[in-house]
Structure 1
Amino acid sequence: AERKLPIYSVEDDKRIAITFDASWGAERTKGIVDALYERGLKATFFLTGIWISAYPEETLYIHDHGMEIGNHSDHHYNMGKMTKEQCLEEIVAVNRQVYDLTGEYPTLFRAPFGDYGNTLIDTLEGIGMRCIQWDVDSLDWKGLDAATLYERITNGVQGGSIILCHNNSEHILEALPKILDDLTQEGYEFVTVSELLLGKEGTIDRTGKLHAARQGG
């Protein structure tokens, strides 16, 4: 069978999505939300069930400041080889948790460790969710300093990029304001992943880029 791809990036001129995966720790989360919120910018936070259980207040803070919450699985296991039943267990539990706290169900999923397979993608499609990867990896979890994070992100970005960061990496909060300000100055608009996907109902190419639907044949 043909290998299915998640969405790594989107065909777009100037809109980009910065995303934060949360599976451990929370001390920097409110600071990240505040940096975005005070600039009127949006981001998507992919949360694990374990994290939501530990940090319900931060989960609500993310939601109440207009950020999007995505599903990052319940336990952060490798899911690339899981059965449909196992996948559903990991996905549905978190959707319920997010709904109970915020009144909204997540529509986006990010695979733990970026580890996906056809079964996971089919399972997600079957419940109306999309699997989201990234095309710009900050590698912030490696403890890179703020200047290096700034370079990696600003040099890697193009229109339609999805940027991978982590909510509790050591220097992301320090690097973030300049990243947001300078890319905004360059004409980029920070939106949620769902906003980035709006109206893009076309095909995903071999690089994982989602294209807008073409008119006609």
Structure 2
Amino acid sequence: MFRTKSGRRRGPAFALLAAASLVLALGGCSADTVTPGDARGKAGTDDKAGTAAGGVDCARAKCIALTFDAGPGKDTPHLLDVLKEKKVPATFFLLGKKHVDRYPEVVKRIADEGHEVANHTWTHQVLTDLDAAEVRDELSRTQDAIAKITGRKPTLMRPPQGRTDDTVSDVSRDLGLAQVLWSVTAKDYSTTDTALIRQRVLEQAHADGIILLHDIYDGTVPAVPGIIDELKRQGYTFVTVPQLLAPGKAEPGVVYRPEKDD
């Protein structure tokens, strides 16, 4: 598992700005992570088992998962309009404080429109800087807040900055949460240049990939239509993270991360 160097805690603002910058450190595949292909393989290879929910078989189709972190925010309703128009499902890793609690109607809409609602902690603290009780509080508060709105607790979480360790995994397992990392990032925390965000995603996109974007930054949502259109032109099928793993199911505590193409 990934371990942070023991250091002082950083506040939510610092963590948000740094969230995507560590993707290079997460680029290689570790024996402690499971790829989407591995998840599917463990579930079986017959035709019936090979089809994900929604009729997509990612063992055969060129699948990619679009994910958004740290929302919802003011631009999320427009993003949902775009996804509805393009008929694209996404996975939303929601932040609790000042997001889930500020935009409950948007959280409900995300769930009602068939997207996967997932957990991105309560205050975006780096979980490897916390003790077990603090990790549990960060995750369980968001679990409860989402369940109050949607009637269902998430089964997926994304640790801020992708930082996880045995303590985070143990607490996640107890709470029924699998951990989902990524293989494609636009580093949209660092730019409002929509064209650049689009370019970065398209340059890194690959089959079985998981794209990390944030629906809270000004340049990101305007980039999404162009990303979707071009990847569809290239033959990609957009799926949620559970669909990407199907017929496998995300196992609590396990870290899922795609292999990046060379």
TM bracket, shorter-chain basis: 0.7 to 0.9
Aligned equivalents of 2:177, 2:229: Cα separation in 1: 31
Greater mean deviation of Cα atoms: 142-151 or 130-139? 142-151
1:2 offset after TM fit, Å? 9.1
Amino acid at match of 1:32: L
Using the aligned pairs only, state the percent identity. 31
1:208 offset after TM fit, Å? 4.1
Equivalent in the alignment of 2:53? none
1:171 match: secondary structure: coil
Aligned equivalents of 1:67, 1:78: Cα separation in 2: 26
Equivalent in the alignment of 2:181? 133
Equivalent in the alignment of 1:39? 86
Greater mean deviation of Cα atoms: 81-90 or 189-198? 81-90
Equivalent in the alignment of 2:16? none
Equivalent in the alignment of 2:102? 54
Q: Does 1:89 align with 2:137?
A: yes
Equivalent in the alignment of 1:118? 166
Alignment deviations for residues 48-77 of structure 1 (CA, whole Å, 9 cap, x no partner): 111111111221121222111110011111
Equivalent in the alignment of 1:64? 112
1:141 match: secondary structure: coil
Greater mean deviation of Cα atoms: 97-106 or 79-88? 79-88
8 Å Cα contact 1:6/1:131 also seen in 2: no
Aligned equivalents of 1:201, 1:53: Cα separation in 2: 29
Residues 87 and 5 of structure 1, relative CA distance in 2, 3 Å threshold = farther
Residues 207 and 57 of structure 1, relative CA distance in 2, 3 Å threshold = closer
Kindly report which structure 2 residues correspond to 1:68-217, keeping only aligned pairs within 5 A, or say none: 68-200=116-248, 208-209=257-258
Equivalent in the alignment of 2:36? 10
1:147 match: secondary structure: helix
Alignment deviations for residues 7-51 of structure 1 (CA, whole Å, 9 cap, x no partner): 6x523551111111125x722111111111111110011111111
Aligned equivalents of 1:168, 1:2: Cα separation in 2: 26
8 Å Cα contact 1:6/1:121 also seen in 2: no
1:200 offset after TM fit, Å? 3.6
Aligned equivalents of 1:207, 1:171: Cα separation in 2: 28
Aligned equivalents of 1:107, 1:207: Cα separation in 2: 13
Residues 43 and 2 of structure 1, relative CA distance in 2, 3 Å threshold = closer
8 Å Cα contact 2:33/2:256 also seen in 1: no
Aligned equivalents of 1:39, 1:2: Cα separation in 2: 36
8 Å Cα contact 1:16/1:160 also seen in 2: yes
Residues 120 and 32 of structure 1, relative CA distance in 2, 3 Å threshold = same
Amino acid at match of 2:168: L
1:42 match: secondary structure: coil
Unpaired runs of 5+ in structure 2?
4-30, 38-57
Aligned equivalents of 1:65, 1:119: Cα separation in 2: 34
Aligned equivalents of 1:15, 1:88: Cα separation in 2: 33
8 Å Cα contact 2:181/2:256 also seen in 1: no
Aligned equivalents of 1:207, 1:129: Cα separation in 2: 11
How high is the TM-score relative to the length of structure 1? 0.85
1:82 offset after TM fit, Å? 2.2
Kindly report which structure 2 residues correspond to 1:23-34, keeping only aligned pairs within 5 A, or say none: 23=71, 26-34=73-81
Q: Please provide the CA RMSD for this pair.
A: 2.6
1:38 match: secondary structure: helix
